[in-house]
Chain A
Amino acid sequence: MTRKDEALLSVRHLVKHFPIRAGIFKRIVAWVKAVDGVDFDIYEGETLGLVGESGCGKTTIGMTLLGLYPPTGGSVYFNGEDITPYLLPRWKVRSYLKQTYVNHFKKLSGDEIEKLPQEVRRYAEVYFNDHKGNTESFVRHFTENRKEKQKAIRREMQIVFQDPYSSLNPRMRIGNIIGEAVDVHGLASSSAERRRMVAEILQKVGLYPEYAMRYPHEFSGGQRQRIGIARALILNPKLVVADEAVSALDVSIRSQILNLMEDLQREFQLTYLFISHDLSVIKHISDRVAVMYLGKIVEVAPKKKLFDRPLHPYTVSLMSAIPIPDPDYKKRRVILKGDVPSPINPPSGCRFHPRCPIAREVCSKEEPPLKEVEEDRKVACFFAGEIS
């Protein structure tokens, strides 16, 4: 794990709500609060595991980071640069910049600006020094060359999808599925070069270059997932979001793909955001783990600390729920009562309190903040560590 001080990707107060429409006029009747204020950092070269049950918002986070859904609120910084304007539709960029930066900067004194978080302070300098406090010029800084900048972000961040069957276009040859990215970004000067690039990446993911001429239905699930990985890696990205990348695979194939992803991480110095519902996979591949529940991160810690001593009661019960392939393994089970509540009307206070074995009165009234309890370790619970 090569860790630098500055994060490769920082997510701040990320919010993604999906409208539910009904009636003839398609009025919005409710919001699904899929992601509701999430903060985390990913450092270069590491693997951050994002674990949680279905509907907790983990996939939505991945999609939002890739710009596949525009965020409802919050900011995303990549290499210290705010990329949110490129994830948002163009007409929202202005109001985003005003709300996030300009309105604050205007109110704050110089000292107060000094105290702002580093990523925001950086833009204070840009605003006051480069643009002399001119809002229009500052906005233009983010709207100029929008297409090129969006493309540049796409090259840095890529995604591997869950379903090896639906993620490859059945009517395209493997060579074109992988080579499409080369075409879009103009990476090859000739078709021979494109062929060479495709052949090279196919070999890297453990397939034969001849496969480029074949169609997806000729391959098994594991091979298809290798093709999906090749498609993501041909752009030579820094960050790869793996969204349940091994969940649909058979057990014996899953370990091959996990090993491959680890090898590729070393070879290409990749940073992974590894999204999964499977704690044992997360434990194997991650350096740090973030646990999500109903649109919030409840605990984030280095892997060893988290698995040795989970502090949040949800993490504890999640871990104890996993069946261990050893009939003699005796464990204390914390079986949760009830179902995951709906993200349309999440419970008040701490979202976990209706199912929590140690919930007290305060939990239903106040929302516990995600705060640092030890070095490198944050938990959102008033009574962190009371059960383990």
Chain B
Amino acid sequence: MSALSEKKPILQVKDLRTYFYTEDGIVKAVDGVNFEVYEGETLGIVGESGCGKSVTSLSILRLLDEKGKIESGQIVYKGKNLLELSEDEMRKIRGNEIAMIFQEPMTALNPVYTIGDQIMEAIMLHQKLPKDEARKLSIEMLRKVGIPEPEKRVDEYPHELSGGMRQRAMIAMSLSCNPSILIADEPTTALDVTIQAQILELMKQLQNEYGMSIIMITHDLGVIAEVSDRVLVMYAGKAMEYAGVRELFKNPKHPYTWGLMNSIPRLDVEYERLNAIPGTVPDALHFPEGCRFHTRCELATDKCRVEEPPLEEVAPGHFSACWHVDKLEAAIAVQREGESA
């Protein structure tokens, strides 16, 4: 943790548990997750559908619907536990200090207001600027996110923009109040690859300029590798692995991470056959006992079926929740030998 620990954590999530009370039972969407976000850094949260990555981000902003409840845990932002704030205090944090962008900007933008109106609303609300200055700032923001002819675009409605442009407008809106943390929930999943490349580039560039921290939530390991500094791998509501990005990709210490990496066909490697993770993602109502990944894990033993492995530091700054890190290391060594041979 040498280089990373010099920085200060701006957000700490401790033992977060968010449950949903549905008619069919309790969905333990997030079940004891810990992580830190450091100043100016990007934390990537990666996992498949239903792993709890989006619920984690909604929990940070306390934006859950009435069925979802944060059962326990702490979300410490600049020394304050967000879970103890009043709704009024929380409103000042949302958008102003911690902003969020979503997968489908069309649903996050109000279709009956112009792009400019919506950016101005945020600026006027949080920065208390007069209307004409707010408008000037909105145009400035639109220019910053690379929207051509911002003076004209500021008066257009969301449906008049393309998907990529809408996401840019959304980013402009979320950055207009200069937040310390930007939560991006699958911001490029709905976009084409060439547009995705533009948006990722833009986010990196804006992060350098504004020095904010980013929580990047995605299912795409490629995006993670490209933008994150540290990565949290989630599966079935639990953190499986947590490490610096280079360390994670070079020395994965959890069979799930390893399986994920193996199952993506890479553009730069030739495969005869893909290494699939067998089985299906477990149903959120009936997560398996013991290690939640054991039903799909090739290294699973009886211990994994009964006892849940804790997230432990297995190498400096590298955390993994697995009983059999040593077995995995051996398996990886064998596979790598085979590849190089």
A and B: real partners? Answer: yes
List A305-364 residues whose CB lies under 8 Å from chain B.
Answer: 307, 317-329, 333, 335-336, 338-340
The interface-forming segment of B32-40, B118-126, B260-268, B314-322 is: B260-268
Chain B residues within 8 Å of A283, by CB? 265, 267
Q: Is B71 an interface residue (CB 8 A)?
A: no
Q: Is B114 an interface residue (CB 8 A)?
A: no
Q: Which A residue sits closest to B275, measured CB to CB?
A: A255
What is the 8 Å Cβ interface bit string for chain B, positions 155-175, against chain A (1 contact, 0 not)?
000000010110000000000
What is the 8 Å Cβ interface bit string for chain B, positions 211-238, against chain A (1 contact, 0 not)?
0000000011111111000000000000
Q: Is A254 an interface residue (CB 8 A)?
A: yes
The interface-forming segment of A95-103, A133-141, A245-253 is: A245-253
What is the size, in residues, of chain B's interface with A at 8 Å between Cβ atoms?
46
Asked, given contacts A277-B192, A335-B198, A339-B164, whether A255 binds B264 with beta carbons under 8 Å apart, the answer is yes
Please determine whether B194 and A317 come into contact, CB atoms closer than 8 angstroms.
Answer: yes
Please determine whether A220 and B281 come into contact, CB atoms closer than 8 angstroms.
Answer: yes
Q: Which of A256, A280, A327, A329 has the most CB of B within 10 A?
A: A327
Q: Which of A220, A251, A284, A336 has the most CB of B within 10 A?
A: A251
Asked, given contacts A327-B249, A336-B194, whether A284 binds B224 with beta carbons under 8 Å apart, the answer is no
Asked, given contacts A258-B274, A323-B222, A324-B268, whether A253 binds B280 with beta carbons under 8 Å apart, the answer is yes
Please determine whether A281 and B281 come into contact, CB atoms closer than 8 angstroms.
Answer: no
Please determine whether A252 and B259 come into contact, CB atoms closer than 8 angstroms.
Answer: yes
Could you say which of B48, B220, B276 contacts A255, with CB atoms under 8 Å apart?
B276
- Closest CB in chain B relative to A215 CB, distance in Å: 16
Chain A residues within 8 Å of B181, by CB? none
Please determine whether A284 and B274 come into contact, CB atoms closer than 8 angstroms.
Answer: yes
Could you say which of B49, B201, B264, B296 contacts A325, with CB atoms under 8 Å apart?
B264
Could you say which of A251, A255, A321, A325 contacts B193, with CB atoms under 8 Å apart?
A321
Q: Which A residue sits closest to B229, measured CB to CB?
A: A327
What is the 8 Å Cβ interface bit string for chain A, positions 146-180, against chain B (1 contact, 0 not)?
00000000000000000000000000000000000
Q: Is A298 an interface residue (CB 8 A)?
A: no
Q: Is B273 an interface residue (CB 8 A)?
A: yes
Chain A residues within 8 Å of B263, by CB? 251-252, 254-255
Q: Which of B165, B225, B262, B271 has the most CB of A within 10 A?
A: B225
Chain A residues within 8 Å of B103, by CB? none
What is the 8 Å Cβ interface bit string for chain B, positions 196-215, against chain A (1 contact, 0 not)?
11101100000000000000
Q: Is B278 an interface residue (CB 8 A)?
A: yes
- Chain A interface extent, by class: 35 or more
Q: Which of A221, A259, A323 has the most CB of B within 10 A?
A: A323
A280 to B246, CA, bound (A): 22
Could you say which of A256, A335, A339 contacts B197, with CB atoms under 8 Å apart?
A335
Q: Is B311 an interface residue (CB 8 A)?
A: no
Q: Which B residue sits closest to A220, measured CB to CB?
A: B280
Asked, given contacts A323-B226, A335-B197, whether A256 binds B278 with beta carbons under 8 Å apart, the answer is yes
List A209-258 residues whose CB lies under 8 Å from chain B.
Answer: 220-223, 250-256, 258
Q: Is B83 an interface residue (CB 8 A)?
A: no
Please determine whether A339 and B165 come into contact, CB atoms closer than 8 angstroms.
Answer: yes
Please determine whether A251 and B260 come into contact, CB atoms closer than 8 angstroms.
Answer: yes
- Closest CB in chain A relative to B191 CB, distance in Å: 9
Q: Which B residue sits closest to A355, measured CB to CB?
A: B194
Asked, given contacts A251-B221, A284-B274, A336-B198, whether A324 binds B192 with beta carbons under 8 Å apart, the answer is no
A333 to B200, CA, bound (A): 12
Q: Is A367 an interface residue (CB 8 A)?
A: no
Please determine whether A322 and B222 come into contact, CB atoms closer than 8 angstroms.
Answer: yes
- Closest CB in chain A relative to B53 CB, distance in Å: 12
Q: Which B residue sits closest to A314, measured CB to CB?
A: B194
Please determine whether B261 and A325 come into contact, CB atoms closer than 8 angstroms.
Answer: yes
Please determine whether B276 and A259 come into contact, CB atoms closer than 8 angstroms.
Answer: yes
Q: Is A386 an interface residue (CB 8 A)?
A: no
Please determine whether A252 and B281 come into contact, CB atoms closer than 8 angstroms.
Answer: yes
- Closest CB in chain B relative to A345 CB, distance in Å: 14
List B102-158 residues whose CB lies under 8 Å from chain A.
Answer: 148
- Closest CB in chain A relative to B192 CB, distance in Å: 4
Chain A residues within 8 Å of B10, by CB? none
Please determine whether A325 and B274 come into contact, CB atoms closer than 8 angstroms.
Answer: no
Q: Is B245 an interface residue (CB 8 A)?
A: yes
Q: Which of A54, A283, A339 has the most CB of B within 10 A?
A: A339
Please determine whether A251 and B48 come into contact, CB atoms closer than 8 angstroms.
Answer: yes
Chain B residues within 8 Å of A338, by CB? 148
Chain A residues within 8 Å of B195, by CB? 53, 339
Q: Is B277 an interface residue (CB 8 A)?
A: yes
What is the 8 Å Cβ interface bit string for chain B, positions 42-60, against chain A (1 contact, 0 not)?
0000001100000000000
Chain A residues within 8 Å of B281, by CB? 220, 250, 252-253
Please determine whether A54 and B192 come into contact, CB atoms closer than 8 angstroms.
Answer: yes
Please determine whether B49 and A321 come into contact, CB atoms closer than 8 angstroms.
Answer: no
List B237-261 residues whose CB lies under 8 Å from chain A.
Answer: 245-246, 249, 259-261
Chain B residues within 8 Å of A333, by CB? 197, 201
Please determine whether A325 and B194 come into contact, CB atoms closer than 8 angstroms.
Answer: no
Asked, given contacts A327-B246, A335-B201, whether A252 binds B260 with beta carbons under 8 Å apart, the answer is yes
Asked, given contacts A258-B265, A277-B192, whether A321 binds B48 with beta carbons under 8 Å apart, the answer is no
6 other contacts beyond A279-B193, A284-B271, with CB at 8 A cut-off?
A: A53-B193, A53-B194, A284-B274, A317-B194, A323-B225, A323-B226
Pairs of residues from A and B, 9 with the lowest C-beta to C-beta distance, nearest first: A323-B222, A284-B265, A255-B263, A53-B192, A321-B197, A250-B48, A252-B277, A255-B276, A325-B221
Q: List 8 A-B contacts (CB under 8 A).
A: A221-B49, A251-B260, A252-B48, A259-B273, A280-B265, A323-B197, A325-B224, A333-B201
